[in-house]
Amino acid sequence: DSGLPARVRVTIEVPRGGFVKRRADGGVDYVSPVPCPFDYGCVPSLIGGDGDPLDAIVLGPRRVFGETVEVAVRAVVRFLDAGETDDKVVCSDEPVSSTDRTRILLFFGMYAQAKRWTRRLRGKTGETRLLGWEWVGAALLYFLVAVLAVVLSVAAFLEDRLLGPQFLAQGRLASQRIL
């Protein structure tokens, strides 16, 4: 159990397509080399491992800077920034697709590399890296059901194409035995 609430209120700090992440005092925290592929903000009511409000990724329609939205927590991107825990909650009112998950992990992999490079140029120390993905609550169940549905669909397709109609008549298909 992650200890996170099922829903959180997120304040948008970087609308999808933005490059600049600001600190709570309004100063520039980070300028991304690529546009952010999702809305990014924080959960002011929860404190992250770095002592700042917990970072949040919000999937769905593009929001505007400063907007506050209430959304379901689906997963956590585990992240280490300058040696401190800096996790990001993944929020969406819809289940997170495998495409969204891949996009998020690719972005934060690139983000970690860019932050490491920037820190080295400034002579700062501390490890910065993407640690991984953790599903939260029912989101894991949704993901596993989606994976199972894809596996069964592929199995049925392959059996139909590779084994032919003669096996259908005999009821010998693995997908028919499972279902």
Active site residues: 86
| C-alpha 162 chain-centroid distance | 37
Alpha-carbon distance of 63 to 39, in angstroms, equals 7
What residues contact residue 148 under an 8 Å CB cut-off, 6+ apart? none
Alpha-carbon distance of 59 to 26, in angstroms, equals 24
**Residue 178 three-state SS:** helix
Alpha-carbon distance of 133 to 109, in angstroms, equals 12
Classify the C-alpha dihedral 95-100-102-104 as positive or negative: negative
